[in-house]
A and B are shown apart, each in its own frame.
Chain A
Amino acid sequence: MTDEASVKQIEAFAHPAAQAALGVEGGTTGWKGELLHIHIAPAASYEMEKLAVATCVAGRGIEGDRYFLGTGTYSTRPDVRQITLIEQEALDALARNDPPLQESPVVLAPEEHRRNLTVRGVPLNHLVGRRFRVGEVILRGGRLNFPCKYLEKLLDRPLFLPLYNRSGLNCGIEKGGIIRPGDLIELLD
Chain B
Amino acid sequence: MSDRLIMKLRVVSARLTTPDVLVLDLQHPKRPLLPAWTPGAHVDVMVAGGVRQYSLWGDPEDRAYYRIAVKREAGGRGGSKWIHDHAKEGSELHVSAPRNHFGLDGKGGRHVLVAGGIGVTPILAMSRALAAGKADFTVHYCARSASEAPLLDELRTVCGDRLTTWFSQQGRRLDANTLLAQAAGAELYTCGPNSLTAALETAIAAQGFPVELYHREHFAALSDADFVPDSFEAVIASSGRTLHVPADRSLLEVLRDNHFVRGSSCEIGVCGSCECGYVSGDVIHRDAVLDLKARASRLMPCISRARGTVTLDL
A150 to B3, alpha carbons, bound, how many Å?
A: 7
Within 8 Å CB of B96, what residues of A?
Answer: 45
Cβ contact within 8 Å between A45 and B259: no
Cβ contact within 8 Å between B5 and A77: no
Which residue on A lies nearest to B44, using beta carbons?
A: A45
A85 to B29, alpha carbons, bound, how many Å?
A: 26
Which residue on B lies nearest to A114, using beta carbons?
A: B5
Within 8 Å CB of B1, what residues of A?
Answer: 44-45, 73, 150
Question: How does the 8 Å CB contact mask read for A76-116 relative to B, with 1 for contact and 0 for none?
Answer: 11000000000000000000000000000000000000000
Cβ contact within 8 Å between A45 and B261: no
- A contact face: mostly helix, strand, loop, or mixed: loop
Which residues of chain A from 134 to 189 have any CB-CB distance to chain B below 8 Å in the complex?
A: 150, 153-155
Within 8 Å CB of A154, what residues of B?
Answer: 3-5
- B contact face: mostly helix, strand, loop, or mixed: loop
* Total A-B Cβ pairs within 8 A: 31
Cβ contact within 8 Å between A45 and B3: yes
Size bracket of the B interface: 10 to 19
Cβ contact within 8 Å between A73 and B7: no
A46 to B6, alpha carbons, bound, how many Å?
A: 4
B97–chain A nearest beta-carbon distance, Å: 8
Contact A45 to B4, CB < 8 A, known contacts A73-B261, A76-B259, A77-B259: yes
Q: In this complex, which of A45, A76, A150 has the most chain B Cβ atoms within 10 angstroms of its Cβ?
A: A45
Cβ contact within 8 Å between B5 and A155: yes
Within 8 Å CB of B280, what residues of A?
Answer: none
Contact A47 to B7, CB < 8 A, known contacts A73-B261, A77-B259: yes
Cβ contact within 8 Å between A47 and B6: yes
Of the candidates A47, A76, A153, the one whose C-beta lies within 8 Å of that of B8 is: A47
Within 8 Å CB of B2, what residues of A?
Answer: 44-45
Within 8 Å CB of B6, what residues of A?
Answer: 43, 45-47
A77 to B96, alpha carbons, bound, how many Å?
A: 24
Which residue on B lies nearest to A41, using beta carbons?
A: B6
Which residue on A lies nearest to B2, using beta carbons?
A: A45
Which residue on A lies nearest to B265, using beta carbons?
A: A45
A19 to B253, alpha carbons, bound, how many Å?
A: 35
Within 8 Å CB of A155, what residues of B?
Answer: 5
Which residue on B lies nearest to A72, using beta carbons?
A: B1
Listed in ascending order, the chain B residues whose CB lies under 8 Å from chain A are: 1-8, 94, 96, 259, 261
The 8 A-B pairs with the shortest beta carbon distances in the complex, nearest first, are A153-B3, A44-B1, A45-B2, A46-B6, A45-B6, A47-B7, A73-B1, A154-B5
23 contacts across the A-B interface (CB closer than 8 A):
A43-B6, A44-B1, A44-B2, A45-B2, A45-B3, A45-B6, A45-B96, A46-B5, A46-B6, A46-B7, A46-B8, A47-B5, A47-B7, A73-B261, A74-B261, A76-B259, A77-B259, A150-B3, A153-B3, A154-B3, A154-B4, A154-B5, A155-B5
